[in-house]
Structures are given as C-alpha cells and as structure tokens.
Structure 1
Amino acid sequence: MFGKRKKKAVPAAVCAVIVAAGSSRRMGGENKLLLPLGDVPVLAHTLAAFEKCADVRDIVLVCREQDIVPYTELARTFGISKLRTVTRGGGSRTASVLAGVNAAPEDTALVAVHDGARPLVSEAVISEAVYAAAAHGAAAPVVPVKDSIKRIENGVIAADVPRDTLAAVQTPQVFARPLLLRALNEAARQGQAYTDDCAAVEALGQPVYATHGSYENIKITTPEDIAVAEALLQKEEI
C-alpha cells in the first residue's frame, strides 16, 4: 500500500492551507473549530501542529467571512507566527482550497491542504507527505480500512470488497503548487465540486503517492468525535 520514502530535499517554500470554511451542520450548527479540546480550541491545535512542523514555512487559513476576525485573534492568542493571511472561502471545498492556494506566498513550491477539523495530526504524518510530494508531485496520508467492507445492491449484501485494496485517506494532502492550481481550475471550469483534493488531481491523470497516516488523525465531525479526541489527547499527555 505504501512506497518507500524518497530521500529528497524539501523545498523551503511549503505552505499549509488550512481549510476551515465549513458550517458544522453535523454539530448542530455550533462552530466545532471553536469547541474546547483539552481547554484549547480545536482550531488552535490544528494550527499549532503546522506551526511546530519544521518542514512548513507558511500557513494560510481559509474560513467563512464571519470567522475571519475571531480566527485571526485566535491565531494571535496562540502564537501562530507562520500565519500569513486569513482568507474567505468559497461555496464548495474546491473553491475554498483554490482561494487558499491563490492566497499563498508567490514562491510557494508545495501546498499542504489540511482539514481544520483534524487537530491531532502529527509532525511525522505532515513531514512524510511533504517529502513524498517533493519527490512525486502529489502525496496523501492513508490508513488501512479495519472493517470488512460489503457492496450493497437493493438493500442486500451483493459482494465482499477485498479489504487489503482499500484505505481511508486523510490530510494533509500535499501537491506541487502548479499541479494543484491546474487541477482546481479545471474542476472549477467543469463545475466539479470534489470533497477530496486528491480527486481533482487524479482527474488530470496524475497519480497520488500514498504515505502513512495515523488512526489518531481523526476529523471532528460529530459530538462523539470530541470525546474520542479528548481521550487521544489525554493518552498523548500521559
């Protein structure tokens, strides 16, 4: 499932685009990124992970217009010195990521697109994806699927799907900036709204290199996820 990591120097200009423009519908409308996780807002954990990562030079945060001021203040409060700008997202993930990539510094070589709601991403997961993208042009962390997977037809189990061919993709998904811009602009031209940035790149025929994700790199989507993240955070602190 995974290739061997290439020992290639990472370009100095790596920009993390943190996508935080969602509406938190499955949280009942409450802004999940401002919920406390170990007494620190979810988004602060996410930003801090990239602040601490030596392979990331810059951070761009993409959010709803009404969140620009509070998120800017949050970043200042928690000492996120790599943050270059907070910019307004679009009506879809694809549009929001495109806004973030366009807002990155001009000399950016690699863009690491990450979900704002994945606060427990490790430096190891970030760096491995960055190194792989430096070597291959596109990379994303994945984890093997644990459960047995079935194909359903008309409410009935129709077939087993081999589990060893499946993986759950995570973020950060890292791409050469020109490649990602081309993929996102093409998606916009065709009216495609992908929920996953790899899909836009794959649509160009560009393979995406699989790197090691982590089962702890969870996405906060429902209230139950906060409890899981709290438990994982406490485990790390022991």
Structure 2
Amino acid sequence: MNMSTENQSVCAVVVAAGSSRRMGGENKLLLPLCGKPVLAHTLTVFQMCGAVRDIVLVCREQDMEVYRTLAAENGITKLRTLTRGGDTRTESVLAGVSAASEACALVAVHDGARPLVSDEVITQAVAEAAKTGAAAPVVPVKDSIKRIENGKIAADVPRDTLAAVQTPQVFRRDMLLHALLDAAANGRSFTDDCAAVEALGQTVSATSGSYENIKVTTPEDIAVAEAFLYRREKK
C-alpha cells in the first residue's frame, strides 16, 4: 500500500467509555481544563485537523446525552455518531470502528482522555498509516527501567530499545476491523490497539509522539495538562 492521504478519508474513533476509577469515580472527561471539559479539548483538536473527515465517539450509555450536548456546544460538526462502548477497550474500539463509515479507508483510534494531542502528531501518524497500513506515535522512555522479580531488582532493561506508545493509533479500517473481530471470536482483549493487529502478524510503524500528549488519569494530570496549555497560549 502506497497511497497519499489525499485520496483516503480518515475517521477518528475517540474512545470515551472508561469508568474513571483512578479519579475516584468522577468522570474525568468532564473535569474542567482551562475552562473547558477535557473531552471538549480532545474533540476540538480532531475538529480542527484537516486530515480527519469524521469523528465517532464511543461512550457509556449514561454519558451519551451529556456528550452530545458537549459536542454541540463546542462546535464539533464532524461528529458522525455516538455509539455505546463495551466492557473492555477491545469491545469499545470494535464498536467505534464498526460505526465508522465504510467510505473511510483509515481509522485513527484516540483516547478521549488525551486532550493535548497536536495536529502534527495526528497528521504524521495518518500519513504513515496511509503508506504502510498501521502507525502509532511513540516517545522515548526517559527513566531507567528495571525488571523486578519477587520484590527485587533482577536486571536492567536497555532504555534505547523502549518507547511509550500514545494515540491516535491509525490503521486501515479493514485491517483493524479484521483484527478486532478475530480477537472477539477468540476471547482476547487488548489494552493497546496496536497489539490487536500485531497479533495477526501486521507490523506497526512508529511516528513521533509528544511528551505533552499525556493521558489524564489521576487528579495530578489535570494540573500538568493545564501547565502545558498555559505554556502553549504564551507561545
């Protein structure tokens, strides 16, 4: 496969079906981040991204109306549909990919809790997936990594062989759909979408991520995200 992104339409599948357990049960996607809900920031990036045609939002049944209103209030006109997620990430992504238009050649699966993803990170992953079929942004690991056994440090893990993977992870729609259906048929679940296609022997290209593209998981992450946003505004 070696086609340009211009002749391939892209649907962003934004996964927002989590339970926010590490936020004490409070819906982290509705928490204020510089005056707007976390999810509003996430959706706005894809609304403004020229590489993306449609947005599918995957969420819990009880959040649908709140998120629909949030999207309308923030001018998210690319929102194609909201669809109910499953009990696992794999089930939720499958629901989102299934709801995407068959006219979309590529799907960009993104965590709703990553509100600081940049246009550049999205477009690089999309461009690479248009060439190779699958791509994901990564950043080098900063910390020294150790392998632990029985509460003891057992060995060093070479840091230059490691990277932290982010989203959006971009795939040919048919490839990812096949991988997710195969996982469902075999009772497998993945916390990372790359793993689903890798399980079928597909390699995933690595593109440049950003250390600002954090996932809001704990209350401390809100403070970090706000600091990044304030720095962007000053620039």
- Report the TM-score, using the length of structure 1 for normalisation: 0.96
Name 1:3's counterpart in structure 2.
none
How far does the alpha carbon of each residue in 1:70-111 deviate from its partner, in whole angstroms, 9 at most, with x for none? 000000000001000011001110000000011111211000
State how far apart, in whole Å, the 2-side matches of 1:237 and 1:203 are.
41
What is the letter of the counterpart of residue 27 of structure 2? N
Counterpart position of 1:103: 99
Question: Quick one: which amino acid aligns to residue 152 of structure 2?
Answer: V
Select which of 182, 194, 199 maps to 1:198.
194
Correspondence for 1:92:
88
Cα pair 2:8 2:130 within 8 Å, conserved: no
Matched, 1:212 2:208: yes
Partner of 1:74: 70
Query: Cα distance, 1:193 vs. partner?
Result: 1.1
Q: Which amino acid aligns with 2:34?
A: G
Q: Does 1:39 align with 2:26?
A: no
- Residue 200 of structure 1 deviates from its aligned partner by 0.3
Q: How many residues align?
A: 233
Aligned position for 1:29: 25
Query: Among residues 148, 152, 157, which one is paired with 1:152 in the alignment?
Result: 148
- Equivalent runs, 1:168-187 vs 2, <5 Å: 168-187=164-183
**Contact 1:12/1:55, CA 8 A, preserved across alignment:** no
Aligned counterpart for 2:44 among listed residues 41, 48, 57: 48
Q: Name the stretch that deviates more: 171-180 or 7-16.
A: 7-16
Q: Distance in 2 between matches of 1:182 and 1:7?
A: 21
Q: Alpha-carbon deviation of 1:9?
A: 3.6
More deviation in 150-159 or 122-131? 150-159
Deviations 1:152-190 (A, max 9, x none): 111111111100000000000000001000110011011
Cα distance in 2 for residues equivalent to 1:11 and 1:101: 19
Instruction: Confirm or deny: 8 A CA contact 1:144 1:166 kept in the other structure.
Output: yes
CA drift at 1:7:
8.7
In 1, Cα distance between equivalents of 2:7 and 2:148: 45
Query: How far apart, in 2, do the equivalents of 1:9 and 1:125 lie?
Result: 15
* Structure 1 residues 90 and 233: CA distance shift in structure 2, 3 A: same
Aligned to 1:132: 128
**1:109-156 CA distances to partner (integer Å, 9 max, x unpaired)?**
000000000000000000000000000000000000000001111111
What stretches of structure 1 move > 2 A for 4+ residues in a row? 6-12
8 Å contact 2:11–2:107 — kept in the other structure? Answer: yes
Deviations 1:187-234 (A, max 9, x none): 101111100000001000000000000000000000000000010010
Partner amino acid for 2:84? R
Alpha carbons 1:10, 1:130 under 8 Å: kept: no
On the 8 A contact 1:10/1:131 being kept in 2, the answer is no
Does the 8 Å contact 1:10/1:134 carry over to 2?
Answer: no
Structure 1 unaligned regions, length at least 5: 1-5
In structure 2, C-alpha distance between the alignment counterparts of 1:226 and 1:83, rounded to whole Å? 25
Structure 2 residues not aligned, in runs of 5+ = none
In the alignment, structure 1 residue 14 sits paired with structure 2 residue 10: yes
Distance 1:94 1:158 in 2: 32
> Aligned partners of 1:224 and 1:143: how far apart in 2?
21
Partners of 1:17 and 1:9 lie apart in 2 by 17
Residue 223 of structure 2 aligns to a residue whose secondary structure is helix
SS at match of 1:87: strand
- What is the TM-score with the length of structure 2 in the denominator? 0.97
